[in-house]
Structure 1
Amino acid sequence: MTHSALDQLMGRARGPMGPEIDLDFGVENGPLVELGRLITRMNGFYLFNGGVQVFRVGDEGLGHDMLAWNTEELWKDSYNGLADDLFCFAQDLFGAQFAVMGGTEVVRFDPETAEVGVIGTSLEDWAAWLLDDPDVNGVNAFSYAFQKENGPLEPNERLIPLRFFVMGGTYEFENLAVKDAALAMRIRGPVAQKVHEAPDGATIHLGTD
């Protein structure tokens, strides 16, 4: 019997991060239907040694609540509209967001540039993409190595580079800080606005003006 990519992914999941919940987004088809079933099956979980975190839903549990995560005031307002079309359901170790866009596509949102990369049209596509290269797409080996040396991250925490990757920052542990995931997004939002609007090769000034 051949299991779907999503079933294979769930076989690697560590959770749940919240109490059982029956989640229905009120739509009849598309990736949000899959997401509702996924969270009903396991309400929040980690994948790949914490390299990917799928948010829980509800008032109780570990880490950020998925619905609160998608409110404007938590972090999205710092992107000034660049993340408004996204319903983010998961994030990787560095805060890259996995989201449903327009109710029809599953995408990866870069927190430093606000660039959106389409992964597919279903969570099945997303699962297959992660499983295709867990170390690159799921940050598997890096997450294991970082936490082995520095200790485990709390469920609400992710990593942020001291010198942003888009500005030439490296993935050396010394260039990485542990912060609350929402705060890390808010820090990067204004930078993403400038990078997103700048032409290729432009010099980016990170002043307070």
Structure 2
Amino acid sequence: MLELLALKNGFYAFESALHVLPVSRDDWFNEQDLQRWNDPKLWKHAYGEQSNLNELMLFAEDVIGVQFGFLADQIVRFDPETGETEEMCSTLDEWAEMVLSDYDTELGYPLAREWQKQNGPLQKGNRLVPIVPLIAKESSFEPSNFYQLEAVKGMLARADLAMQLKSVPDNQAVILKAINVPR
């Protein structure tokens, strides 16, 4: 990872569908670096003690804030709506190959492209957040179901959702408590 960041200290790619975090930032406007993004006090704490987030070293995110990180000897995907991790591969090269071979699926590139056609560029440090959570039957990946929000605020909002759902069995109906997320 450090070799990649030595070449390019953080970047956006695929029309902002991928955000690789920088090692350090000179400019703290609405954006994070690796150390700050991985600080448990920033947003990870909101997922509670049951998550393995503090063991993760997150290094990138897709357009909707799904996180990519290192966990032991694996690269994993962290779903912000459920708080669950999923193993992806073993090396950064394998991860890059997965992303490059299917960026539509891995990063949500079609959503990023279409949303920005309709709404203008995604601001630096922001990700798209669904109005109707993606885990809901009624949700969709249509651009009209998303708005842009500062990444930290988006993670905190979805942590609240994940915490409400953590003890609900799959496929069980649930009534979620709405929260106010500043836009």
TM-score computed with the length of structure 1 as normaliser: 0.77
CA distance in structure 2 between the aligned counterparts of 1:50 and 1:163, rounded to whole angstroms: 22
Moved over 6 A (4+): none
> What SS does the corresponding residue of 2:158 show, helix, strand or coil?
helix
Deviations 1:165-191 (A, max 9, x none): 112321222211111000000001021
1:152 partnered with 2:121: yes
Matches within 5 A, 1:1-209: 35-61=1-27, 63-81=31-49, 82=51, 83-102=53-72, 104-168=73-137, 169-207=139-177
Is contact 2:114–2:143 with CA below 8 Å preserved after alignment? no
Ranges in structure 1 where 5+ consecutive residues have no aligned partner = 1-34
RMSD across aligned C-alpha pairs, in angstroms? Answer: 1.6
Deviations 1:73-118 (A, max 9, x none): 111011113222211100000000001112x110111110112111
Q: CA deviation at 1:158?
A: 0.5
Q: How many residues align?
A: 173
Q: Which amino acid aligns with 1:113?
A: T
Deviations 1:121-155 (A, max 9, x none): 11011011112211111222321121122111111
CA distance in structure 1 between the aligned counterparts of 2:106 and 2:23, rounded to whole angstroms: 24
Quote the sequence identity (%). Answer: 31
TM-score computed with the length of structure 2 as normaliser: 0.88
CA distance in structure 2 between the aligned counterparts of 1:139 and 1:56, rounded to whole angstroms: 21
Ranges in structure 2 where 5+ consecutive residues have no aligned partner = 179-183
Q: Which amino acid aligns with 1:179?
A: L
Q: CA deviation at 1:204?
A: 2.8
